[in-house]
Amino acid sequence: MNAFNDFFSWFGNITNQIPTIQIKDIIEILIIAFVNYQLIKWVRGTRAWVLFKGVFVILVIAAIAIIFELNTIIWILSNTINVGIIAFLIIFQPELRRALESLGRRNFITELILSEDHDRSLHMNHESAEEIVAAVEEMSKTKTGALIVVEKDVKLYDYETSGIIIDAVVTSQLIINIFEHNTPLHDGAMIVRDDRIVAATCYLPLSDNMSLSKELGTRHRAAVGISEVADCMVVVVSEETGFISLATGGNIIRNVNKEYLMNKLGGDNSRSFINSLHIMVGGCQL
């Protein structure tokens, strides 16, 4: 009996030493968990992932050096850490810049409220999306190369001025004519803003991502490159295979069908969590 009393007394002392968890503590835990998740998610898609593996090895060596009191190794590591941080900032400046740009473009409240199945930043109606998909499908059949950049929130004025201003309504016939072989406007990228073709023959930055497939040519690398520096959606038609690809956020999905493309370009961007609830209970969309 005394053993039980001693156990409960010990357990009571332990629980009394545990600090009370308040609302602000829960908020801090959620923020830290979210930041760590986003950091790991970002690092895994960049060259910095290899660096982090190296840092882990160095930390293991440092721990061994501290345990066995290897003073020379400890001195070397402690005196090179500042230089290592500066070197990291210099070497991985492009990746850090893209990470900060991506953070600045994020609308966390919108992401929580709106449906994940549809792109939430496209300012283009369903009819314009249908015209783009129809043009892309036709060019895919004839293996006509095309590069179409659809803006989201960040305006591509710098790249727009590198081409020829069009400022025309989005139609499949116009898109096909622009990318037709041996026409003055077929080379370069087309930029679509809202429901208008604003420019053609635009120059785009090429991606320096070494993990991209060697099968991808300049057109596909340009699509990935612009999607790395701007929150846009890029449609590519290969003139070698006729395959349709979609690039966004520095990633490219190859050989997509028209249903997938239409869902990404012309999905109901205004569908919210509230509307989804209405649909689930048999109501109508707001």
Condensed to tens digits (0 to 9), the pLDDT of residues 233-276 reads 999 999 999 999 999 988 999 999 999 999 998 754 444 444 44
Q: What contacts 53, CB < 8 A, 6 or more positions away?
A: none
Helix (H/G/I), strand (E/B), else coil: 192: strand
Which of these ranges, 15-24, 142-151, 271-280, has the smallest mean pLDDT? Answer: 271-280
Domains and CATH numbers, the chain: 22-106 (no CATH), 126-266 (3.40.1700.10)
d(C-alpha 255, C-alpha 240), whole Å: 12
Q: At what angle do helices 71-91 and 93-105 cross, to 10 degrees?
A: 60
pLDDT in tens, 94-106: 667 766 766 665 5
Query: Residue 200 pLDDT more than 60?
Result: yes
Tokens of 118: 């549809």
Residue 75, token pair as written in the block: 């001195």
Please report which confidence band the pLDDT of residue 142 belongs to, taking 50, 70 and 90 as the band edges. Answer: very high
Pick the closest to residue 191 from 124, 99, 97, 103 (CA basis).
Answer: 124
Tell me the mean pLDDT in the region 154-178. Answer: 93
Inform me whether the pLDDT recorded for 134 exceeds 90.
Answer: yes
- Give the DSSP letter of residue 272: B
Rounded Cα–Cα distance for residues 236 and 253 (Å):
10
Mean pLDDT rounded to a whole number for the chain = 80
**Largest interatomic CA distance in the chain:** 95
Type of residue found at 277: L
Convert the pLDDT of each residue in 41-96 to its tens digit.
Answer: 766 656 566 677 777 888 888 889 889 888 888 888 888 877 877 877 787 776 67
Contacts of 32 (CB under 8 A, 6+ apart): none
137 sits in the region (left: phi over 0; alpha: psi -120 to 50; else beta) called alpha
The verdict on pTM exceeding 0.75 is: no
pLDDT exceeds 60 at position 113: no
